[in-house]
Structure 1
Amino acid sequence: MASISQEGSTLEALEVDLFFSDLGQRSIEYNARASVPDFEACVAEYARLSTEAKSACSGLYNLKYGPTRAEALDLFLAPGSLQLSPVFVFIHGGYWRSQSKDDAALMAKVFTDAGIAVAVLEYTLLPLATLAEVVREMRGAISWLHQNAACYGIDPTRIFIGGSSAGAHLVGMLLADGWHEEFGVPVDTVKGAMAISGLYDIRPICDIEANDWLRLVPSQAERLSPLFKIPDKAPPLVLSVGGLETQGFRNQTRAYAEAWRAKGHQLMMIDAPDRNHFNLLSELAWPDRSLTCAVLNMIENSRR
């Protein structure tokens, strides 16, 4: 049983083991790359699907949302609409230290065909930046989009976010309270979210290899963990984790889902029994997949 403390309050004890019996087992549970035999093939599939999607869309590349070199985004616009369109903002994974937006636009064609713009964010990779700085960059990107949306035919009142793995962690930090005033945006700027294969309590990785680039002590990790920052008011959330992922990543999603439900927030869990940590994201390249339909329906329902 793991008791989860959240800003002075204690949630009900959860039967979710995030730390495991020893450091050796914990290292295995949080080593996503080692959990699949065809990691390179999955990465190649990202690149192929992203290239195909971008070639079929109208895109604006490397729009600057902040002052550093990495603070840029690619924007894919919904064609033919006379009204401002919603936007789906995607944050790539890579354990905060690898991958890029260039291979993360695989949902662009499906979403723009549905009348939804897509923004794919870049951020400074660790250890060049700290994780706190990356969180600040993501909040700055949302602020930039909110302030400049109408210039690109986007409705600033219909911003939706999504992310995979480390990107899902960053989605959780965007859902947290306490940053909106500083960045000049309304508290309800984010109208819905999707997070897949995420890390929502990063304390367990302070003692294993990932801390070589995270460089956090547990108290810092807790402040940067979405599990301890569930907002009092929240938009709808779609969560998923692959059935072929390690128990560590599955437990992370379960813990976050239970904490979300404990606050009474709207949550949809999407089963993906035959997906692993890396090919779950590829579902978004197809309009008829359960994950894609859940996100598109969430955005469509926001009109009502």
Structure 2
Amino acid sequence: MAPRPRPRSKAGLSGHKYAGPLFASPALIGLAIFLVAPFVLAVVLSFYRVQLNSPRPARFIGFEQYTRLFTDPDLSAAFGHALLNNFTFAVIVVPVQTVLALGLAVLVNRKLRGMVIFRTFIFMPLVFPLALTAVIWRLIYSRGDEGLLNAILGFFSGGALSSQDWLGSPSTALGSIIVMSIWQSVSFQMIIVLAALQSVPTELYEAASLDRANKWQQFMNVTVPGIRNTLIFVALITTIFSFRLFDQVYLLSRSGSVDRGSTETVMTQIINTGFDNNNVGQAAAMTVIFMVIITVIAIIQRAAVRQRGGV
């Protein structure tokens, strides 16, 4: 006769009931301190007229900062142009960087000689400090023969393409920052996709081989469905990171001349409004509206994925 299982005590059950919240508490506390609290503070500041280093106390003005943002022609035009630059950056970077991350992950997942060294070189841009990355790309984009890119183009074109001002020209400034951002960040997405590739069961590939599926068919019918959720996650975080574009523009503009009109983003405009123009309340209102826009985009993107059969 098999022994009866020992019943669990009520104390043990109550202990398990609080185990989840207890283990999640450090992350929740961090989110509350570094995400929720700053956003709530921004909402509060957006209703006041606040100036840094001013003896005047903060003055409550209600929704005036939000009204000015949509009724002031100059302010609304500048905010709309910066938001358009963010959208342009995201529309290009999200698909290109996701596809590149997938291609690099498939490449480095192969067991070839010297692949460890190749993985190291691909991962290097993520290890470099962003300030160092900006200096390197500043040297690449320098105008005239001093720039590495102009020197290469001048060599192959006989000097005809050696005078381009990549960061100072409105037609190429944003594109130059896009290339730099993809080079610097694609290795992060590649690591996430690589981990997903290595979790796809090998039995599925063996079954596909028995069905005489070629490599491309295996990739489309085994690999992509197996890492679909990971690709969705990568696209989501890349979208959020794209709208947070600030560091690259700021560092490149501090190290040389960058066309401000074509590279102005909402984040740079918020910093300039709050610190350079000494209008913290207006900057807070921009932050709140920008946060709402990003949240709506993330919800729409998630809903579109679910309608197509996602999770």
Same fold flag (TM > 0.5): no
Q: Higher helix proportion, which one? A: 2
TM-score range, shorter chain: under 0.3
Higher strand share: 1
Structure ID, larger Rg? 2
Higher relative contact order structure (alpha carbons within 8 Å, sequence separation ≥ 6): 2
